Every structure is written in structure tokens, then in C-alpha cells.
Copies of this chain bind each other. A is one copy, B any other.
Amino acid sequence: MGQFESKLAEMGVTLPEAPAPAANYVPYVQVGDIVYVSGQISKGDDGLIVGKLGDDMDTAAGAEAAKVCAINLLAQVKAACGGDLDRLVRVVKLGGFVNSTPDFTEQPQVINGASDFIGEALGETGKHARAAVSSPSLPFGVAVEIEGVFQIK
């Protein structure tokens, strides 16, 4: 087990099999050393994490959903690395979408669930640019969807 997966194990996280997309596209595309990963939704071991921030889900639960998205992103990156996550050079950019009501304003705190997890797991390699916005709704009613750009070697 590589350095990053060892750290994840220490944090109690095992990467799932990279979830397959629900449609006619692919989970990631590599161009040169850059990997574009499709938007990953908050779907964990126990199924979809659905909810709307500002309505039936609070910010802490939203951050937990964002962490699940980050785990799914790393699972895809691991697949892109042929199974060796230590080939990850840099988390370049995350684009986070929060399923929320029109008066919800804590998008950053929700997406921090992903950013903080990645920061703890990957250290300097995990320091990324980011956008965090809301969507009025997301696929299957999930709470969070996050896409990402990664540099690998």
C-alpha cells in the first residue's frame, strides 16, 4: 500500500472501487499529465446521500456528503493511476456544487468537507484551487456533486 493510501487507512478510509458513471460517458479522461474526473456525487457505502442544504440537511451533514464526493474523486484518480495513488502529483482544482435553497450561504463550509479531507490525506499534494456554488437541485437529489482536475505522473 502506497503512502497516500496508508494515510487514508490511518484516517479510516478505504477507497471504493471507482464508481462507474450512470450514462454514456467515462469517469475520467487523461490528457498529458492532467486527469479530468467527472462530477462525483455523494454516494457512499450506504447509498446516495440526498438532501437540500437550507431545508432538510444542515451544514455539518453537507460537509460529510462533500467528503464522500472527495473519496469518490480519489477512487477515480487511483484508477487513472493504474491503482497506485502515489502517482498523484497535485490536486489542481475542485468544482463543488451544493444542492441548496435560495437563501443558503454556507457553500464554502460544505465544500470544506472535501477540501479538509483532501488536505489531511494528501498534505501539500492536496492543496487545490476551488469554486463552491449552489445548484437548485442535483442528480438523484444528492446533496453535493464535485468535479476535479488532477495532475499525475
Task: Give the contacting residue for A128; candidates B29, B90, B108, B134; CB below 8 A.
Answer: B29
Give chain B residues whose Cβ lies under 8 Å from the Cβ of A92: 29, 31, 36
Task: Give the contacting residue for A26; candidates B101, B127, B141; CB below 8 A.
Answer: B127
- The answer to whether B29 touches A112, judged by C-beta atoms less than 8 angstroms apart, is no
- The answer to whether B133 touches A25, judged by C-beta atoms less than 8 angstroms apart, is no
Encoded as 1 (CB less than 8 Å from any B CB) or 0, chain A from 22 to 61 comes to 1111111101011011110000000000001010000000
Give chain B residues whose Cβ lies under 8 Å from the Cβ of A138: 105, 107, 133-134
CB distance from A131 to the nearest CB of B (A): 3
A72 at the interface (CB under 8 A from B): no
| Copies of the protein in its oligomer | 3
Known: A107-B138, A136-B136. A131 touches B115 (CB 8 A): no
- The answer to whether A108 touches B23, judged by C-beta atoms less than 8 angstroms apart, is yes
Encoded as 1 (CB less than 8 Å from any B CB) or 0, chain A from 1 to 26 comes to 00000000000000000000111111
Counting chain A residues whose Cβ lies within 8 A of the other chain, the interface size class is: 35 or more
Give chain B residues whose Cβ lies under 8 Å from the Cβ of A33: 31
- The answer to whether A131 touches B145, judged by C-beta atoms less than 8 angstroms apart, is yes
Task: Give the contacting residue for A133; candidates B31, B39, B151; CB below 8 A.
Answer: B39
Give residues in A with beta carbon < 8 Å to B.
21-29, 31, 33-34, 36-39, 52, 54, 90, 92-95, 97, 100-109, 111-112, 115-116, 119, 127-141, 145, 147, 149, 151
